[in-house]
Structure 1
Amino acid sequence: MSGQIVRHAGQIEAVRLRFAAVHRASAVVVGDETVYGRLCRWIIETVLEKHARQDELVEYVEDNLRLIVAGLYDLYGVKPPEPDPVREAALPTLIAPVAQTAGPAMELIGPLRDVLDELTGRPDVITAHAVTWYNIAIELRNMANDLAEFLDHDVPCWSGADEHLRLMGHNIEAIRGLSAVSAAFAEITESVGVLVAQTRRLVRELVVSLAVAPTDATLWRLACRIAVYGVALNATLTHLENRLDG
Structure 2
Amino acid sequence: MTGQIVRHAGQIEAVRVRFAAVHQASAVVVGDETVYGRLCRWIIHPVLEKHARQDELVSYVEENLRLIVAGLYDLYGVRPPRPDPVREAAVPSLVAPVEDSARAAMELIGPLHDVLDELTGLPDVVAAHAMTWYNIAAEQQDMADELEDFLDHDVPEWSGAGEHLRLMGHNIDAIRGLSSVSAAFGEITESVGVLVAQTRRLVRELVISLAVAPTDATLWRLACRIAVYGVALNATLTHLEDRLEG
Indicate whether the TM-score tops 0.5: yes
Task: Structure 1 unaligned segments of length 5 or more: list them.
Answer: none
After TM superposition, the score normalised by the length of structure 2 is: 0.99
Query: Is residue 221 from structure 1 mapped to residue 221 from structure 2 by the alignment?
Result: yes
Deviations 1:112-157 (A, max 9, x none): 1111000000000000000000000000000000000000000000
Report the CA distance between 1:77 and its aligned residue: 1.1
The alpha-carbon deviation at position 236 of structure 1 amounts to 0.3
| Counterpart code for 2:152 | D
**What residue is the counterpart of 1:235 in the other structure?**
235
Residue 92 of structure 1: how far off its partner (Å) = 1.0
Distance of 2:148 and 2:240 partners within structure 1? 32
Q: Which runs of 4+ in 1 moved over 2 A?
A: none
Unaligned runs of 5+ in 2: none
1:61 is the counterpart of 2:61:
yes
Partner of 2:143: 143
Moved more, 204-213 or 75-84: 75-84
Partners of 1:76 and 1:111 in 2: CA distance: 67
Tell me, in whole angstroms, the C-alpha distance in 2 between the residues paired with 1:138 and 1:101: 25
RMSD: 0.5
Compute the TM-score of the two structures, normalised by the length of structure 1: 0.99
Residues 1:42 and 2:42 are matched in the alignment: yes
Supply the distance in 2 between the matched residues of 1:55 and 1:81 (Cα, whole angstroms).
26
Structure 1 residues 190-201: aligned runs within 5 Å: 190-201=190-201
| CA–CA separation in structure 2 for the residues paired with 1:58 and 1:80 | 23
Question: How far off is 1:100 after superposition?
Answer: 2.1
Aligned residues with identical type, % of pairs? 85
**Aligned positions of 1:3-152 closer than 5 A:** 3-152=3-152
Q: Which amino acid aligns with 1:190?
A: E
1:78 Cα offset (Å): 1.0
Q: Using the alignment, how far apart are the partners of 2:189 and 2:217 within structure 1?
A: 35
Q: Look up the SS of the partner of 1:38 in the other structure.
A: helix
Alpha-carbon distance in structure 1 between the residues aligned to 2:195 and 2:164: 47
- How many angstroms does 1:101 deviate by? 2.6
User: In 2, distance between residues paired with 1:214 and 1:83?
Assistant: 66
1:137-216 paired onto structure 2 within 5 Å: 137-216=137-216
The whole-number CA distance in structure 1 between the counterparts of 2:5 and 2:52 is 35
CA distance in 2, matches of 1:13, 1:241: 36
1:47 Cα deviation (Å)?
0.1
Q: Write the deviation string for residues 72-107 of structure 1: whole angstroms up to 9, x where unpaired.
A: 000111111111111111111100000023411111
